[in-house]
Structure 1
Amino acid sequence: MTPRIAFVGAGPTTLYTLHALLAHHPSPFRLAVYEAQACAGRGTPYRPGWNDPAMLANIASIEIPPLAETLCDWLIRQPPERLADLGIDPDAIGERTFYPRVALGEYFRDQFDAVIDMARARGIELELRTRCRVEDVVSTSGAMILKVRMRSGELADEAFDHVVLATGHQWPAEPEVRPGYFLSPWPASALATVPPCDIGIRGSSLTAIDACIALANIHGSFDENRNGETHYRPASATDAFHMTMMSRKGLLPEADFYAPLPYEPLAICTEEAITRLVASEEDELLDAAFALFKAELAAADPPYAAGIGLEDLDLEGFCEAYFARRAASDPFVWAEANLAKAQHDYAARHTVAWRYAILRMHETLALLVPYLEGTDYRRFVRYFKPVFVDDYATVPHKSIRRLIALHRAGRLDVMAIGDDYRIDTSREEAGASLILGGEQRHFEVFIEAMGQRPLGAAAFPFSSLRQQGIVRDAAPGAGKSEARGIAIDDAFHPIADDIPESRLYCLSLPFLLGRHPFIQGITSSHEMGMVVGEQLAAAIGQANAEEKAA
């Protein structure tokens, strides 16, 4: 019997996994792809309506693993009218340029169509089922059963030998959970009704910037020219429109910096060194890994290491030193200087050595995370992870220019709130209040914009897998604030005794963040797809060989 494979979700992760599977030229198989939306390929982060047209992706063409073609090649062959609809200047197309999220969505949609055509051309029996929602997944002795809500509204059971769950980010369908209080800024279309008023945004990184830019375009517009000059023009009758971003440190992300791609190899804090460290069963695993990190950083940029006193710093001290100068500066003054430096470095093709060293080490240090116990895991999340995230989650220069323009127009401030605060949503009036230092500040609208957090088994969307014990917490007993995702192995199989390894794969981002803290965006979709594509090809080959032998 020909192996049957199902993908639940039809975003970039499914696209890269299917592309990787086809690259192995597998034996014949049957494939069904289920997507709740009307269109396959885009994924939530790049879907129109979900994203404002002005929201920029923070990944450039050079960083996007190619499929049928690169993003640059795809853009170059688009007609001018389509580029205009996507907000792209045809004369500014380049491999290091950042484009609107919705433009990437169109690219991935076209690439999905191309990969589907490739599969069908090879004789693979394939069904793409859009507007179909998988409501549950059940493991049986012989197959995985998907309970699918069809377009007609009928609930159908469909059986498969292998199932890949790639359901992407998990956000509330209705973000405004009470008047004026939003649990997320998505879909961006939900912000259209926000009036010009005093708005609080919890977060100051990319998610918060997305919310900020969407709101700014509702109540005004940006004037931008090719010289990089950006001004914000408020619309009439919007004098009350003001936004306050707030975060623990009150810092803005830094501008994207020039770095060679692909990454140059590390010399000290290598994957092999971390693997040996884990195998050694070192009692103080995190501190031993931090020692490797310090040695690599000092070798890469001795002046930087000397300037922050790296030799004498422990993990907590390094985190403080890393952010110290920015924390002592006005965030917008720092942003202007940092932007000027980043622009100069891009023009000169100059790489800041210490930044590049930290950027390359984040993936290596991530190998350590599954082996960290309670206290060290909390230290990693509190002190080490913020450094890596700050270093790799830089944003397009255009985004920084827009934030500066909003601040100059008196429409945006950034506020440090530390840890000793709370957000009060219990009052009768709309919005929420910030309680800080014994004082209260009320915002007529309040938006939670801190990005996707790790989720545990209780939030897993397929209840039968939880009830069967196939999906369970990676760290039982961990509190909500310390969720470590679900128990999976290195090949993304849920760890369970009662199911064959190749039967089920989970590539749903929120449930992987505990084990893979830096899993993010397109490059992670590609990396996960490579692993699971190879696994599926092997499983298909084994099944067909067994059938022939029988």
Structure 2
Amino acid sequence: MKKIALIGGGPAALFMFKRLVQSPLKNIEVSIFEQHEKLGAGMPYSRYGSSKEHITNVSDNEIPELKAPIKDWLSHAPTEMRIDYSISEKEFNEDKVLPRLLFGEYLSSQFDLFLAEARKNKLPTNVFYNTRVTDVEDVQTKKQVKVSVESGETFIFDEVIICTGHSWPCKAEGSITNWFDSPYPPQKLFKKANFPIAIKGASLTAIDAVRTLSRANGCFTKNSDDTYSFKLNPESAGFHITLHAIDGLLPAMRFHLEDNHLEPAHVLSHEEIYEIKQKNNGFVPLDLIYELNFKQVIQRKNPELFEEIKEMSIEDFISFMMEKRKKIDAFALLKAEYKEAEKSIKRHESVIWKEALSTLSYAINYPAKHFSAEDMIRLKEKVMPLISIIIAYMPQSSARELMALHEAGLIEVKDVDSSSSVVPGKSEGAIYKYSQGEEKYFSMFIDAVGQRPFFYNQIPFEGLKKKETISAAYLRFASNLRGEKEMESDTNVVLKEESGGYLLQLPGINISDFFQPLDVYGVANPRLFIMAVPFIAGVNPDYSGLDFCEAASEKIIQRMMEK
């Protein structure tokens, strides 16, 4: 019997377990290792990443297929749960976002249903709750994988899928009062703050922090026109939040999506990728993906806009849209986009260029590991800044809260550049150092940039590094002249090969098209698969939540079934 392990029991493991249960694979046994007490929810949808004030940025009709839609699940959910979240089956709208903790309960229930299906199918499954995996080691001579847990116990498997999710390393948190290396778990931020607060970042992670802090220091009320007002508690008179964002931009709003599941018109197949590489000196050109999954979509859906952008390169288009955003005050733009999004949702009409940009991001993800280093630099430096803003999909209620806080004079966005830095205060808080020597002290600091990718030396499983089962992520430069220039610039980490070629170092590790780690010789490991986003973000630049889990698990089960 083949023994398979899932390391981690969150959403990635849920979709992988679904694939295993529904696959024709026979004579397998599955073990699931979860460091907490519940399967399915992971960090984002459990108390480790959410409180009652936090909401998803996806709705029921945007979730990849599981056992039952949320609406059906709600009809059977415990009455006290529905009361607790002020939601009922009749009031439920599949187009609207949900409380994250409620969504976590849904995901957990779906995991339970797949466990029940596994029992029915006589698929042996072992679940190890409250069990933290400390190491993973490939035993090549025996064609097995050894998994070690915190108690000291070890397990042997034939195949292991690493499904660990978010991770927030601590730097100064715990040693400096009111310094937080992440907003999670959010309960730590629920405190009176009669002083100025600095938040690094303005993403949805930062908005999570704002939602918690604002409720700890005042309350929102709903106005007759559906806008919000905010009243500050008297004991928090000094409360003020400064969001620090590159270019001073806030995330874009949720709008109506014609395609709820981010399925581009044409995602390159495994065979197409290699055919393209043969014609392009071993690389997949970024410009080809842009043409297929953006320009052609715009031409089909918005001919008028296409006429405006048809001669634009991807950099030209990004600059065109970014300059438009930069010219407008962050909160003025938020109000304008809020109205645009409300109209889009009410009329069930998409904002075509934004949806096309989202599907472009999704389409880029799979072939990105086949880009040249030059194209990856273009993607990271020029393209992703706009994509990351647009695909955030800020929920309407979050926008209403930000606008209410701004109307009350309690929040601002400060435009910073990459030269800005933050240092801990002497005993608490932080000093934000801006360009031109300007600096400001804040009594509280929260790093809310979001999940950062791990570099090779940050990968937590020493056994994988010690035996060189995994290798640091690199992409080759198409031009040695460009590689040499980048090496001299110190902007990126560039290595020179003995052959004279140049390599761009990326965060994380190298993986195959089927999410198998590559060793130092570029050989895919047949026993290991990596779904842990921080491990693979260098060559897997877009990871759109559950859509990523669905797509990655499909590739993995495909490879497992080929054996």
Q: Structure 1 length as normaliser, TM-score?
A: 0.89
Q: Identity percentage over the alignment?
A: 26
State how far apart, in whole Å, the 1-side matches of 2:256 and 2:49 are. Answer: 30
Q: 1:528 aligns with which of 523, 528, 552?
A: 552
Say whether 1:423 aligns with 2:422. yes
User: In terms of mean alpha carbon deviation, does 102-111 or 76-85 score higher?
Assistant: 76-85
The one-letter amino acid of 1:156's match is E
The answer (yes or no) to whether the contact 2:47–2:185 under 8 Å persists in 1 is no
Shift of 1:317: 3.2
Task: Spell out the pairing of 1:224-263 with structure 2 (5 A cutoff).
Answer: 224=222, 228-262=226-260
Count of matched residue pairs: 531
State how far apart, in whole Å, the 2-side matches of 1:512 and 1:194 are. Answer: 38
Q: 1:71 to 1:215 in 2, by over 3 A?
A: same
Report the secondary structure of 1:159's partner residue.
Answer: strand
State how far apart, in whole Å, the 2-side matches of 1:130 and 1:316 are. Answer: 48
The one-letter amino acid of 1:186's match is Y
- Structure 1 residue runs of 5 or longer lacking an equivalent are 540-550
Alignment deviations for residues 124-163 of structure 1 (CA, whole Å, 9 cap, x no partner): 22211101111111121222111122xxxx3112111111
Aligned to 1:120: 119
The one-letter amino acid of 1:165's match is I
Alignment deviations for residues 354-388 of structure 1 (CA, whole Å, 9 cap, x no partner): 22322222222334421233333122101112232
The one-letter amino acid of 1:329's match is I
Say whether 1:13 aligns with 2:12. yes
Q: 2:157 aligns with which of 152, 160, 176?
A: 160
Aligned to 2:482: none
State how far apart, in whole Å, the 2-side matches of 1:313 and 1:138 are. Answer: 49
Aligned to 2:332: 333
Task: Spell out the pairing of 1:235-384 with structure 2 (5 A cutoff).
Answer: 235-262=233-260, 271=268, 277-281=276-280, 285-287=285-287, 289-290=289-290, 293-294=294-295, 296-305=297-306, 310-311=309-310, 313-384=312-383
Alignment deviations for residues 489-532 of structure 1 (CA, whole Å, 9 cap, x no partner): 01111113698843111110111211111113111112212222
The answer (yes or no) to whether the contact 1:21–1:537 under 8 Å persists in 2 is no
Shift of 1:211: 1.0
The answer (yes or no) to whether the contact 2:506–2:539 under 8 Å persists in 1 is no
The answer (yes or no) to whether the contact 1:50–1:189 under 8 Å persists in 2 is no
The answer (yes or no) to whether the contact 1:139–1:499 under 8 Å persists in 2 is no
The one-letter amino acid of 2:304's match is P
State how far apart, in whole Å, the 2-side matches of 1:51 and 1:234 are. Answer: 23
Aligned to 2:62: 63
State how far apart, in whole Å, the 2-side matches of 1:405 and 1:318 are. Answer: 33
State how far apart, in whole Å, the 2-side matches of 1:29 and 1:368 are. Answer: 31
The answer (yes or no) to whether the contact 1:254–1:395 under 8 Å persists in 2 is yes
Q: 1:49 to 1:165 in 2, by over 3 A?
A: closer
State how far apart, in whole Å, the 2-side matches of 1:100 and 1:451 are. Answer: 20
Shift of 1:195: 2.6
State how far apart, in whole Å, the 2-side matches of 1:155 and 1:426 are. Answer: 39
Q: 1:514 aligns with which of 538, 543, 559?
A: 538
Alignment deviations for residues 255-300 of structure 1 (CA, whole Å, 9 cap, x no partner): 1111213569867x76378775444216893345545544543554
User: In terms of mean alpha carbon deviation, does 477-486 or 246-255 score higher?
Assistant: 477-486
State how far apart, in whole Å, the 2-side matches of 1:400 and 1:225 are. Answer: 14
Report the secondary structure of 2:507's partner residue.
Answer: coil
The answer (yes or no) to whether the contact 2:196–2:443 under 8 Å persists in 1 is yes
Q: Structure 2 length as normaliser, TM-score?
A: 0.87
State how far apart, in whole Å, the 2-side matches of 1:117 and 1:426 are. Answer: 53
Report the secondary structure of 1:164's partner residue.
Answer: strand
Aligned to 1:144: 145
State how far apart, in whole Å, the 1-side matches of 2:298 and 2:387 are. Answer: 13
Shift of 1:11: 0.6
Aligned to 2:405: 406
- Structure 2 residue runs of 5 or longer lacking an equivalent are 476-486, 495-503
Across the aligned residues of Structure 1 and Structure 2, the Cα RMSD in angstroms comes to: 2.8
Structure having greater relative contact order (Cα 8 Å, sep ≥ 6): 1
